[in-house]
Amino acid sequence: MSRAWIYLRIIHIITDLLGLYAAFLLSYFVRVGWIFSTDFPFSIFAWLSAGATIIWSSFLLLAKYYRIPPRSGGRAWFDISLAGLGGVVAVGMLIVTYFFPREIIFSRLIGVYIFVFGFAWLLVTQFLFRSLLALLKKKEKMVYRTLIIGANRITEKLITSIEKNAYAPYRVVGVIDPYGLYQSSIFNYQSSMGKSGVPVIGKLDKLETVCAKEKITAIIQCDAFEHTLNLISLCDEKGIKFQFVPALRGIFEENLRIREVAGRAMISFVQRKYEKAKKLKFRIVDWVLRQVFDVD
């Protein structure tokens, strides 16, 4: 599944690359007319535009603009800001390398055209690919067929979040009740369409059979911590993606981040108790610390 999404993103990257280069060339002709100006040599402009296009695209790649799955909800605006910031860097590079050394009249308008055309192209392709990914999930294509271990409140919240996220590449096939305590054959949760449910398939003794029958490609553990090693061994043997929620270890806080200590991965709890009057201010400061310096 993940390979197919990666291929889609590669197509997205190539599409953006070609579109951005076309935006540079189009801006040239819109500014000087549909001719090759002697004041603005086209061949040099085309070569430097190719370099600026690579810079713009490289900026987006390093900033995880093409991450899988894409940012959703309130964080989708971050992708838009990345597209604009990358354009500023690329246009600035072109101005410095093309116009300044040549002692010719500098056209600020061509830089505006480049930014507007390129930024608009990125918005269009971002919308189209997001729509495609959402459609694929809706049709249950190219998604992880997911089995969840545990029939508890954490599982309910998890399924609700997966179902409400248009891009989360998971399709919950069913729930395994490890202790056989759930009193119904349907596990209920709150979806965007109202109350919904997924089947409670059985206990852990049926796990291998269920994985084979339902063609499971991902397992998320929300209960039965004592069986974690066995689950990891099974997933490793069958080539199944394995994940578990922090609540499995009794950690229910939301401010959790993955950090490294001397090269070792750690789950870090970030304590945040701001007064309401200062909540927005400190959220902004916290965001800057996290995005720029990657510290808590």
Domain interval for residue 262? 256-293
Let me know whether 108 and 184 are in one domain: no
Let me know whether 202 and 180 are in one domain: yes
Let me know whether 99 and 206 are in one domain: no
Q: Reply yes or no on whether the pLDDT at 106 is more than 60.
A: no
Local structure of residue 250 (DSSP, 8 states):
T
Ranking 135-149, 173-187, 196-210, 264-278 by mean pLDDT, the lowest is 264-278
Confidence of residue 16 (pLDDT cuts 50, 70, 90): very high
User: How confident is the model over 155-170, as a mean pLDDT?
Assistant: 85
Confidence of residue 163 (pLDDT cuts 50, 70, 90): confident
| Residue ranges in the chain assigned as alpha helix (H) | 2-32, 42-62, 76-94, 108-138, 153-164, 207-213, 228-238, 279-288
Q: Reply yes or no on whether the pLDDT at 143 is more than 70.
A: yes
Q: State the pLDDT at residue 205.
A: 83
Specify the CATH number for the domain of residue 174.
3.40.50
User: What angle (nearest 5°) sits at the alpha carbon of residue 125, between those of residues 134 and 28?
Assistant: 175
Q: Which of 114, 138, 162 is the last residue of a domain?
A: 138
Let me know whether 64 and 118 are in one domain: yes
Total of domains in the chain: 3
Half-sphere exposure of 94 (CA within 13 A, CB side): 34
Let me know whether 63 and 108 are in one domain: yes
Q: Which of 138, 169, 187 is the last residue of a domain?
A: 138
Q: Which of 74, 105, 138 is the last residue of a domain?
A: 138
Q: Which of 251, 190, 242, 202 is nearest to 221 (CA)?
A: 242
Q: Reply yes or no on whether the pLDDT at 251 is more than 80.
A: no
- Specify the amino acid at residue 205: D
Q: What are phi and psi of 243, to 5 degrees?
A: -145, 155
Q: State the pLDDT at residue 123.
A: 93
What separation in angstroms does the CA of 294 have from each of 214, 255, 286? Answer: 40, 14, 10
Let me know whether 35 and 72 are in one domain: yes
Is residue 75 within 8 A of residue 91, CB to CB? The reply is: no
